[in-house]
Structure 1
């Protein structure tokens, strides 16, 4: 039995989400942001993503404390990319190593596939970020490339690792052009 549950995120979760992300920005290379966004900016990002039908979920413990979050967002803005999403998974520092990230990513993959998306792209900051690379490999992602020394943070050059996973039939069948992917997801 898991010590946490996964549920759709709500706007009330934004302070906890912001706190988790702030730590990632200030102490990690998983994101290339340098300054953490404030709560208003995080709320705007949350509203924009969920308003477009992209899944955004949280893991919480038995007391309702948010342990981590994950979301899928547009991989690129051009219409031809509408069937592909980029995933993001962030776990609170004191919840790492407890399976939270794996459960979040597994559920995010399920929701994204059910919502009609066909490819999930992981853009992992830092080729030295072994936990994130392993997390994605365990979920079924494959390495597709590395942008070497593409970011500069904490006084050093950092690679960007690209990983990919097909969702549902992936590219083996044509998409249903009568609906926009993501419209099945309910917040």
Structure 2
């Protein structure tokens, strides 16, 4: 997420602050999320709940809720990946979840990518999105949907467009957060047709 997307910046917990490796370079490995990652995933996500309009959640998400979500995604075989720094801290995460509850939608998923605030602006969002798309396609999923706030999420819109997502609709004033009305932009990607960018 972009710095300008934050609503009211606050002091970050130490494990969310960027810590370069020994050479001062931004580095990470991508791997599957584990239950041990969930407290860090929760902290990353809750930062955006509290400080931005990129999510319409208004209350921080509990560890119990994340544990339930993790179990669901694992049962469904849906990708949930993290970017881990050499220090062990998480730079960000990416996952897909069911688009709708009805079973006919079972091959369509909604994506979600969040970065620790100190890890933004380094190209990691795009890397996570590409990996998420490839893993989703390999899992047999067919369509990926993005639901993006119409204000404050310009970086997300750019990444989705660059990776081939097409805008499929807009809805105005469907959310109310921080005493202002917000709309959404929906975007869609056919996983069958997608090719990794050069």
Partner of 1:177: none
Task: Give the superposition deviation at 1:161.
Answer: 0.9
Number of residues paired by the alignment?
Answer: 170
| Aligned residue among 38, 41, 56 for 1:32 | 56
Task: Give the superposition deviation at 1:134.
Answer: 0.8
Paired residues of 1:121 and 1:162 also in contact (CA < 8 A)? yes
Partner of 2:82: 58
Task: Give the superposition deviation at 1:128.
Answer: 3.7
In the superposition, the TM-score normalised over structure 1's length comes to 0.86
Question: Could you tell me how far apart the structure 1 residues matched to 2:177 and 2:53 are?
Answer: 7
- Is 1:99 equivalent to 2:116 in the alignment? no
What are the ranges of 5 or more consecutive residues in structure 1 without an aligned counterpart? 171-187
Question: Could you tell me how far apart the structure 1 residues matched to 2:94 and 2:41 are?
Answer: 10
Instruction: State the 4+ residue runs in structure 1 displaced beyond 2 angstroms.
Output: 125-128
Question: Could you tell me how far apart the structure 2 residues matched to 1:13 and 1:56 are?
Answer: 11
Partner of 1:151: 175
* 1:44-84 alpha-carbon deviations (Å, 9 max, x no partner): 11112222211100011122211100101111111211111
Paired residues of 2:54 and 2:153 also in contact (CA < 8 A)? yes
- Is 1:4 equivalent to 2:16 in the alignment? no
What are the ranges of 5 or more consecutive residues in structure 2 without an aligned counterpart? 1-24
Q: Cα RMSD over matched residues?
A: 1.5
